[in-house]
Amino acid sequence: MIIDLRSDTVTKPTKGMLEAMITAKVGDDVYKEDPSVNALEQRLADMFGKDQALFFPTGSMANQAALKLHTNPGEQVICDKYAHIYNYEGGGASFNSGISCKLIDGNRGMFTAQQVAESINPPDFYHSPLTSLVEVENTTNKGGGACWDFEELKRIKAVCDKHNLGYHLDGARLWNALANTNETTKDYGQLFDTISVCLSKGLGCPMGSVLIGDEDIMQGAIRIRKILGGGMRQVGYIAATGLYALDHHLDRLVEDQKKAKAIGKVLEDMSIIKKVEPIETNIVIFELESHVDESEFLKQLSDKNIYIIGMGSNKLRMVTHLDYTDVMHDQLLEVLNNF
């Protein structure tokens, strides 16, 4: 038995999901003739109360398209220093859109409306880049699965409105935030101009992300997707996994979060561990005591077929997911308890 907690992207399609793929009705999605893709896009647009949605092969491409839709070359996006668009999309913001990032020094990937207001360059001061977009991530990845306070997101929206800025949500793990808080998809749809969501993380699909927004902003999205090389043909076989996951894998996310919290409890009692970050969703980030050798710790776990990931500076990460079973969970807790 291999216990792989490196990421929630390691899941494989379930039997039911494979069945949904085999029986999917498909067509050429570049001509918008794939009924499964069209159904998935319509369903997500409706869920968020927006006009349109567009299927993308990856979350990075959906975010990159959003950046392009909201900005012109030379302009600036405000985001946290931990943001995925800044740290983990290969420099795409500058490569694809010719924009720079104004980084906020936030808390676990989150910041305040006040910090946003202070980061906006005065539009008539032509020496500095024109601020055109604010981007937030929920849950935060590098911030350890933290969930935003919705009231703060509303206050940031007010700042965006006042200064005529776009507002994009990287909701790769928004599903985990929704499972943990009282807000609905429609609440998020009302607040943001564009939202990207991943199907390939908590929901357990093999690939796929969707960008959601109203018609005025989304009308250019399909061209940008084509330019980025993201126009796909009979991709309904994949969209069918998304439809299946929305029916079957949303409600179970609370299970992942329960398990993450239980892992955190055990880690907190281990003498070799200095600190466990607060656990809100399915991500556990913890720091080893400085005298503990990280690679030795990782090796002792991998000798027991347990795989987790190092994040540098003696910090490590575990992510719970659909393929992390109750049996694996018991086994992991036993190994940690006896470490």
Q: Report yes or no: 110 and 170 within 8 Å, Cβ to Cβ.
A: no
Q: Which helix (H) or strand (E) holds 299?
A: helix 294-302
Closest CA to 72 of 52, 92, 91, 100: 100
Q: Quick check: 141 binds ligand PLP (CB under 6 A)?
A: yes
Q: Quick check: 96 binds ligand PLP (CB under 6 A)?
A: no
Q: Report yes or no: 109 and 83 within 8 Å, Cβ to Cβ.
A: yes
Q: How far is the CB of 128 from ligand PLP (least distance, A)?
A: 27
CB closer to ligand PLP, 282 vs 314: 282
Closest residue by beta carbon to ligand PLP? 59
CB closer to ligand PLP, 7 vs 119: 7
Q: Report yes or no: 84 and 63 within 8 Å, Cβ to Cβ.
A: yes
Q: Quick check: 137 binds ligand PLP (CB under 6 A)?
A: yes
Among 170, 193, 277, 280, which residue interacts with ligand PLP (rule: CB under 6 A)? 170
Q: Quick check: 279 binds ligand PLP (CB under 6 A)?
A: no
Within positions 191 to 230, which residues make up the interface with ligand PLP, using CB under 6 A? 198, 200, 209
Tokens representing residue 249 in the block = 């894998």
Q: How many residues bind ligand PLP (CB under 6 A)?
A: 12
CB closer to ligand PLP, 101 vs 288: 101
Q: Report yes or no: 98 and 130 within 8 Å, Cβ to Cβ.
A: no
Q: How far is the CB of 300 from ligand PLP (least distance, A)?
A: 28
Return the SS3 of 191. Answer: helix
Q: Which helix (H) or strand (E) holds 268?
A: helix 253-268
3-state helix, strand, coil in the chain (%, to 5): 40, 20, 40
Q: Report yes or no: 305 and 332 within 8 Å, Cβ to Cβ.
A: no
Q: Quick check: 172 binds ligand PLP (CB under 6 A)?
A: yes
Residues 29, 239: Cα–Cα separation, whole Å? 11
Q: Which of 53-61, 112-120, 123-131, 280-288 is the region at the interface with ligand PLP (rule: CB under 6 A)?
A: 53-61
Catalog residues that contact ligand PLP under the rule CB under 6 A. 58-60, 63, 84, 137, 141, 170, 172, 198, 200, 209
